[in-house]
Structure 1
Amino acid sequence: MTVLRIAAAAAHFGRDLAFDLARIAKLIDDARAAGARLLVLPDAALGGYLADLRRPDPDALPPALKPDDPVIARVAALAAEMVVCVGFCEDGGDVRYNAAVCVSGDGVLGLHRKVHLPAGETAAYGPGDRFDAFDTPAGRIGMLIDYDKTFPESARSLALDGAQILACLSAWPTSVTNRAPRMAQDRQSRLFDLYDQARAAENQVVLASSNQTGVMGGMRFLGQAKVVGPGGDVLARTWSKAGLAVAELDVAAEIDRARRILHHLDERRADVYREARG
């Protein structure tokens, strides 16, 4: 039996990279003290998210970093023996990407560029073009960013590529167009949890979902970090507060148990599904 302790963070991050690094260092320390070997930090933990999704100010975007930037190298050094997933704005030369990198003390283990961009993000970022799983000391991982998890094909692509753990990094706000008086009643709050549980259950994988908290510009973030088992059951959660959701499980054994009778990936009928159309 190989037991893994997984932590998913709910925390606030802004434009000040020094502040963000200090908060990341504290979260890594807290996760290490809790015995976690994998920590999933929110989207845009380095530099903060957009302040306005409807009309992003091109002069107020997050700082753009290359994957080999010293700031990311600092996160890798802080991670040391742990595996840490963190979101940032990637400098792609002529285009920026809403991106996530997975690091350990050995350096960069994996990189994902957000594929599905909501309307406001298209003014600030270019879309990624692939979903790839990758091997880490904590197991085979696939990353999703925010809106990616709305689309079942995203998580399914990673599961078919062998991912046993989905790291879902978010800066997911309450409803921009129809905000509820209480966060618990907000439509986006309900959908955020629904997508987390559905993506884990339909692929029979473990899912670690992080999210930002607090306020950025006109947006209020949900928090609701959680770890979900391969049956769709929430193993740990933060609700709307900042903190760490920490769960311990034997990932391979739990996946095997979930797939013992009904193995969703093997029982697909790809021959009758419509092919993707351009």
Structure 2
Amino acid sequence: MSVLRMAAAAAPFDRDVEGDFARIEKLVAEARAEGVGLLALPEAALGGYLVNLDGGAEGPPALDPGGPEIRRLAAIAGDLVVTAGYCEREGDRRYNSAVCVSGDGVLGHHRKVHQPLSENASYGAGQGFAAFDTPVGRLGMMICYDKAFPESARALALDGAQIGICLSAWPGSRTNPSADLAEDRWKRRFDLFDRARALENQIVWLSANQSGAFGDLRFVAGAKVVDPGGEVLADTGVGEGLAIAGLDVERALATARRSMAHLADRRPAAYPDSVA
């Protein structure tokens, strides 16, 4: 039996990249002290997210995926596997991206595919989903709105991902917001997507999110660890912190898939090509 301790963070990040690194160092130290091997940090952990979703807003600093900031993140990760979001620069294009690192360097990378509201005014779109191997298992990453589309997580699960990681800067509702974030309808959607994506694919799920407020946005936090049956093992609620849980991942997946195996029982010939 090999138990992996996993953590998903709910934390605030902004344009002060040095301050962001200080916060990341603190979170990594807290996770390491708890025996965590895999830590998920939110979308836009390096440089913060957009100040609003109306288009044309000034974005975070664009970073080179092979540059000093990503190398610094890997050095901080050390013996942990860490995922974090950042604004990626490729030529004159910018992407909302996620990177997975350890002290050995970059292990995986993802560009956000699905763009809500006017996010496409600030970022280019990614073109796909792919799982990758790490010292803690085979992982798959997505960013925020990606998880609203079942095909995203399904693509990762079919590519062998044992653990799906969603990095978000998910805010509360733009219309008729609730004074209590715990009752906000966008918070309920955030939580439902996390549980559904884990259950329908029978994979472990880590959900990291921004907390606090930035610009016009008030983030719902809600970092959590979900098992392959869709049960929430740890959750930060609407506050800042780490959701930490331990699980024998291979055993949990085998148990969940023992009787009804959602991936193995698929009937691709019955589906339109677009969803097969």
Q: What is the Cα deviation at residue 88 of structure 1?
A: 0.2
Q: Number of paired residues?
A: 275
Counterpart amino acid of 1:49? Answer: Y
Aligned to 2:50: 50
Aligned to 1:15: 15
Structure 2 length as normaliser, TM-score?
A: 0.98
State the Cα RMSD in Å.
0.9
Aligned to 1:265: 263
Match of 2:187 among 189, 194, 211: 189
Q: What is the Cα deviation at residue 3 of structure 1?
A: 0.8
1:50 and 1:56 in contact (8 A); partners too: no
- Unmatched runs of 5 consecutive residues or more in structure 1: none
Q: What is the Cα deviation at residue 181 of structure 1?
A: 2.4
Aligned to 1:214: 212
Partner of 2:24: helix, strand, or coil? helix
Q: What is the Cα deviation at residue 195 of structure 1?
A: 0.2
Q: Identity percentage over the alignment?
A: 59
What is the CA deviation profile of residues 211-244 of structure 1, one whole-angstrom value per residue up to 9, with x for unaligned ones? 0001111110000000000000000010011110
Counterparts of 1:1-278 in structure 2, within 5 Å, are: 1-57=1-57, 60-276=58-274
What is the CA deviation profile of residues 171-200 of structure 1, one whole-angstrom value per residue up to 9, with x for unaligned ones? 000011231222122111000000000000
Q: What is the Cα deviation at residue 77 of structure 1?
A: 0.3
- Unmatched runs of 5 consecutive residues or more in structure 2: none
Alpha-carbon distance between aligned partners in 1 of 2:182 and 2:101, rounded to the nearest angstrom: 33
Alpha-carbon distance between aligned partners in 2 of 1:109 and 1:55, rounded to the nearest angstrom: 32
Partner of 2:118: helix, strand, or coil? helix
Alpha-carbon distance between aligned partners in 2 of 1:56 and 1:33, rounded to the nearest angstrom: 41
Alpha-carbon distance between aligned partners in 2 of 1:258 and 1:19, rounded to the nearest angstrom: 41
Partner of 1:39: helix, strand, or coil? strand
Alpha-carbon distance between aligned partners in 1 of 2:90 and 2:212, rounded to the nearest angstrom: 28
Q: What is the Cα deviation at residue 55 of structure 1?
A: 3.1
Counterpart amino acid of 1:9? Answer: A
Structure 1 length as normaliser, TM-score?
A: 0.97
- Deviating beyond 4 angstroms after TM superposition, the runs of 4 or more aligned structure 1 residues are none
Alpha-carbon distance between aligned partners in 2 of 1:7 and 1:230, rounded to the nearest angstrom: 16
Q: What is the Cα deviation at residue 68 of structure 1?
A: 1.1
Partner of 1:72: helix, strand, or coil? helix
